[in-house]
Chains A and B, each alone.
Chain A
Amino acid sequence: MNGWTGQILRVDLTTQTFKIETFSEDFAHKWIGGRGFAAKILYDELKPGIDPLGPDNKLIVAVGPIAGIPAPNTGKAVVAAKSPITGGYGDGNLGTRITEHLRKCGYDALIVEGRAEHPTMLYIEDSKVEFLPAGEVWGKGTYETNDWIYAKYGKGVGVLNIGQGGENLVRYAVIRSLEGRAGGRPGMGAVMGSKRLKAIVAKGTKPIPQADPAGMKKLGHDDLKKVHEIDKQSGWSIQSTTGVLAWCNEVAALPVRNFRKTHHPDAWKVDGERLNNARIATYGCPNCTMRCGITIHDDAGRESELDYENVGLLGPNLEIFDLPQVGALNYMCDDYGIDTMSGGCVLSFYADAVDHGATAGDIKFGDAEGFKKVLTAIALRQGEVGNLLAEGSLRAAKKIGQGSEAYAMQVKGLEVAAYNCKFIPGMALAFGVSPIGAHHKESWVITFELKQTSRESYGPEKAQKVIDLQRIRGGLFEYIVSCRFPWIELGWGLENYPKYFNAVSGLNWTLDDFWTVSDRVYAMIKLFWLREYRQTDRKLDYPPAVWFDPANVDTEGPIAGKHLEYDKYDGLLQHYYDIRGYDRRGIPTRATLERLGLAAEATAAEKFGSLT
């Protein structure tokens, strides 16, 4: 089967056994890989209601048909499981050499089951699988763990690992790779930690099956050069993603002080210009020629790799406008293996709750040293505050009470990315209907809202745009498993991706074929949520309440006096459901599921929830 190895490696940490399974061409064509494989496998194999941090959860590492093959920008893998922070489907992607190595070992996916008795490292080398002791690095950060692995196997191997955050079951712990890369915001690192799995290492030497390897090699290498040239001409990577910080500040979309404010006069101190000036190195993922990881020295002289999300949420959102201090918080998150975005939102929530007298504490916005102490307490689950905040902002707010849930900046439990949607209805919808909880990776519509329509609109054009982008960003790029940046940031044509796919698979797909897969994957994930949230309703797709609060409006600037409105947002949400063919709860109708080839899944779903 060209394009896929046709094999999945299944390991059981409890019994320290493994087996190699095959999958059919029909399965491959229906789900493609990455998120598609993960969603289908988790839906089919997980029992409803399992504890995400128990041995019954399964961790999936999945790649796609073009993943790992030199072409723009194919060095990514998807990690997925039932999420400990949302209780629903969770996944994320990260740049890692494990992509290429897993495929060269002969696998398109890895399923990790059970729980090891002792800290373990899973070592995969071609057909060999070993369960090795990892007690030596249990309790260590991701940087030291990575070095320990490199010392054993060399720098060329593929590595996924966790830090103390994952070990201590911080519900927003991530999986890390290649020193600066992280993925799996909805607690995939905690799932790994719950299995006492410190690291996964892969080293493969087999060829990846391709229909036209010579053609793909030329196409991929030529296009990597073209992407590099476009990047150089456009100047995008001078500031990379951090260029957007200054813009968000200008258009009142920056998170400041736990999203209470949308702009700040000191924001320039941590913007892309300043970051570029402070740059000491630039890092990127495998098969990338537009590297985005701007690296600076933090306040302790450590290398800290930053992008917009972590600067926004660990900087202005905490009212910290000092790059080395932002870098320090970012470094700590990375070393502990904690998501920088949720970490930033949880810290800002805590400071906001203290500020509003909802809970006792001495933390204040702008107190970088104080935030470092709290972050350490979270990662190590030290004390009442550390344990409370390790649970995420929603659980913490439910415990604190005092109305604090309104300013826990999350959707479905997962904290929002660094875009303040106080008056950006379409982006608020994008967060609301993201299938893993709030995340910008699925859809990002702010420029569209400002330039192509009006910021005030709650019209169907915004719902349609969110869906169009979900099909590409949360669909195509997540199951073919490739970084979206060449397309979204440099305008690299989408039509190139069917070319890559067809060269490796020998098929003749068009983009329209992919959009059907995208809709299928989103519907599959919705059924997962229905199974876990049987009384689900549309309120699950609402953004944080504070954005609707008239008492929280800006008093000056471009959106002074403006806020989201519930009835209008609900209408926008309904547009989204109508276009997607979902019912009023946000669940795909039976007709929609059948149209997407999910009749069997629809029948299975009716055991735990009614379909319209």
Chain B
Amino acid sequence: MMITVKLIGPFVNQLGFSEKEMEIAPPSTVDGLLALVGIDKSRPRIVTRNGRAVAPGEEVHEGDRIVISPIYSGG
């Protein structure tokens, strides 16, 4: 299935892309996607799916926009 992955902040520099469409095999969870993308598990982060925060075990669906961001604190 096709999804879009968008990285925020230093993740862009660390993983070498800002946004891309990815084909992943279903079923896939948020945790699985993070591992696929190469996000260090120990790194604090917030993941949203179509603008809503999601938990690590939640499933990713066809057409989802997944955004992976560090935890921002509002400056």
B53 interface residue, CB < 8 Å from A? Answer: yes
B74 to chain A, nearest CB (A): 3
Write out the residue numbers on chain A whose beta carbons fall within 8 Å of the beta carbon of B48. 250-251, 450, 558
A159 interface residue, CB < 8 Å from B? Answer: no
Q: Interface stretch among A119-127, A239-247, A394-402?
A: A239-247
B26 interface residue, CB < 8 Å from A? Answer: no
Indicate if the CB atoms of A308 and B10 lie closer than 8 Å.
no
Indicate if the CB atoms of B51 and A444 lie closer than 8 Å.
no
How long is the Cα–Cα vector from A252 to B46 in the complex, in angstroms?
15
Write out the residue numbers on chain B whose beta carbons fall within 8 Å of the beta carbon of A247. 8-9, 67, 69, 72
Write out the residue numbers on chain A whose beta carbons fall within 8 Å of the beta carbon of B41. none
B61 interface residue, CB < 8 Å from A? Answer: no
B residues contacting A by CB (< 8 A) are 6, 8-10, 12-14, 18, 44, 46, 48, 50-53, 65, 67, 69-75
How long is the Cα–Cα vector from A488 to B71 in the complex, in angstroms?
9
A510 interface residue, CB < 8 Å from B? Answer: no
Indicate if the CB atoms of A234 and B75 lie closer than 8 Å.
no
How long is the Cα–Cα vector from A79 to B1 in the complex, in angstroms?
56
Task: With A246-B8, A273-B12, A273-B18 as known contacts, state yes or no: A440 contacts B75, CB within 8 Å.
Answer: yes
Write out the residue numbers on chain B whose beta carbons fall within 8 Å of the beta carbon of A238. 9-10, 13
How long is the Cα–Cα vector from A559 to B50 in the complex, in angstroms?
10
Indicate if the CB atoms of A239 and B53 lie closer than 8 Å.
no
A235 interface residue, CB < 8 Å from B? Answer: yes
Partner of A489, one of B6, B18, B73: B73
Interface residue count on the A side (C-beta < 8 Å): 33
Indicate if the CB atoms of A440 and B72 lie closer than 8 Å.
no
Write out the residue numbers on chain A whose beta carbons fall within 8 Å of the beta carbon of B72. 243-244, 247, 446-447, 489
How long is the Cα–Cα vector from A247 to B18 in the complex, in angstroms?
12
Indicate if the CB atoms of A243 and B9 lie closer than 8 Å.
yes
Indicate if the CB atoms of A272 and B9 lie closer than 8 Å.
yes
Write out the residue numbers on chain B whose beta carbons fall within 8 Å of the beta carbon of A239. 9-10
Write out the residue numbers on chain B whose beta carbons fall within 8 Å of the beta carbon of A339. none
Indicate if the CB atoms of B53 and A451 lie closer than 8 Å.
yes
Write out the residue numbers on chain A whose beta carbons fall within 8 Å of the beta carbon of B53. 251, 450-451, 455
Write out the residue numbers on chain B whose beta carbons fall within 8 Å of the beta carbon of A489. 72-73, 75
How long is the Cα–Cα vector from A241 to B9 in the complex, in angstroms?
9
A532 interface residue, CB < 8 Å from B? Answer: no
Partner of B73, one of A235, A447, A455: A447
